[in-house]
Structure 1
């Protein structure tokens, strides 16, 4: 399949979102979400300060800082210019600032995709046009939600929705790129479209979605531990997490995904003309997630493992979604000639 310019643009948009997800994972793993306590500026500036002495308090709205403190159960009266200076963390500030900068290419790419989609509409590809509109809307909604995340002082539910919408955006971009072709890519089956394999793939997709919800709840627990156990080694966090049924379910549920992934790969080898990079990528990402889970469960809440665990999960969803899109593929006879799927 030859990629069109529009498909390449959709791929670029997808890559920018994936990079942003990884950077966002770094923000979460390092606890830098409030590194910039205001939005869209950071400490009242478009370029944040590098030291507490550089903070211009005439640009800050102290009342908003106090409102966030109250939301965290802290006495708002304790929020003063002196305490803000004392609590300033240049590393967290610049990690969050870089996260915001990384969102700019996402906006540019999706706007460019939206404009280019009018050409697809003139070609009669209405679904592609609507998908491009949906991607632009999702970017706008998530940008607004990003501000809400800051203004809510990292309210857990808001963060979860923020991440979920980013992954939904990726799926929309995958569909946009896949469908913007006269002959979208399809799987090649040996004898007929095997509904058993397709059902396994859909079940696997559902299990991954459930695991993602559980994982978001676990991340909320680790966020709380980052505040309450800031002075303790991360290796000790697991003991605290094991007191939660959500964490235990999340850890055990991963075995279902591994077994479903193994069944998916086995049936793919039996019923597809060849097992390509996509099938191996899906299983490889599942296995990688299991290994990262082992690190997090038995070694400790290691920052780099957290980042990879979050980032690779979005790639896994996208890869499996692409497979599902192409699963109504053509049948290849023994002689090598294609025939309609039954």
Structure 2
């Protein structure tokens, strides 16, 4: 298998890991196994009545729930497999030197950091800032793998065309870069909303019910450390703080939409970027529909998981648009 095909397969697995992580978190199974890397001290989830009794005695604060425990362990098994594949990719990239060693080395380091975040997610009992960082790490890993794949599969354009792109499309580059930063910030807000169990606080569109603007609590909403708690499962913030998080995420969605519509309009002017404009427009529309469905139908599990995948897809789509703008000769 070529390195390009290996990276492509690894991308599929990375999407599965993100989906499993979202499903595990949204199923309230993030502490399905109270220890790490095993589960109640074992490689497999305790199955027999004797093993379950021993596990319950060792962890009296968290009785064995086989379904949640298996969700957590399957996520760990698949994530571990992803780590092995990325280690293989890193070695091959270093040997073949088809791309700069910097990106594959960064990806390998990111996998190690992701493993640490996974451990801290359990040992710190779902501390929101760690849960959010773990989600962002997964998205960053996916985006970095896509970037590596594009570099391997797309030959570089001639130097003269690169110079033409840089000289003639500075404004487009700036808009695309700003759009990418805004999408990243919105992903962070989404992770903060989810990790603080604030997704169901507002049940009306477009912002929230009642006189929400009179109850905003920014200091409580963005207390990153939330010290003084032994367990953060199901959240520790009050209603006003959670509502503020949710409201900021919704306003962020509006700002993100406006910025991406501008990017789409700018890209549409160039014949070589029409496909990228359509890609961003399609993913953005789907993501907005999923966000609305989460509110209208009160966060169905499959819709919430799809919304997570939609966020990852939107990040990759905007990153790809940036990549194309910076590496392709954009002509009218």
What TM-score results when the alignment is normalised by the length of structure 1?
A: 0.76
CA RMSD of aligned residues (A): 3.2
Matched with 1:74 is none
| Superimposed CA distance per residue, residues 26-70 of structure 1 (whole angstroms, 9 cap, x where no aligned partner) | 01110001111111111222111246554262x7893xx4xxxxx
| 1:221 shift after superposition | 2.5
Matched with 1:18 is 15
1:251–1:293: 8 Å Cα contact kept in structure 2?
Answer: no
| 1:315 shift after superposition | 1.9
Q: Higher RCO, 1 or 2 (CA under 8 Å, sep at least 6)?
A: 1
| Superimposed CA distance per residue, residues 169-225 of structure 1 (whole angstroms, 9 cap, x where no aligned partner) | 2222222222236823799999x8433332222222121111112112211231798
Aligned residues between the structures: 294
Change beyond 3 A, Cα 1:308–1:165: same
What TM-score results when the alignment is normalised by the length of structure 2?
A: 0.78
Structure 2 regions of 5+ residues with no counterpart? Answer: 201-231
- Indicate yes or no: 2:218 matched with 1:246: no
**Map of 1:131-146 to 2, 5 A cutoff?**
131-146=103-118
* Aligned equivalents of 1:279, 1:266: Cα separation in 2: 8
Matched with 2:88 is 112
**Map of 1:157-306 to 2, 5 A cutoff?**
157-180=129-152, 183-184=155-156, 193-222=168-197, 244-273=243-272, 275-276=274-275, 278-306=276-304
Change beyond 3 A, Cα 1:331–1:200: closer
| Superimposed CA distance per residue, residues 235-292 of structure 1 (whole angstroms, 9 cap, x where no aligned partner) | xxxxx6896212112112212222222222222221233522x432222221112111
1:22–1:311: 8 Å Cα contact kept in structure 2?
Answer: yes
2:36–2:122: 8 Å Cα contact kept in structure 1?
Answer: yes
Q: Secondary structure at the match of 1:222?
A: coil
**Map of 1:140-155 to 2, 5 A cutoff?**
140-155=112-127
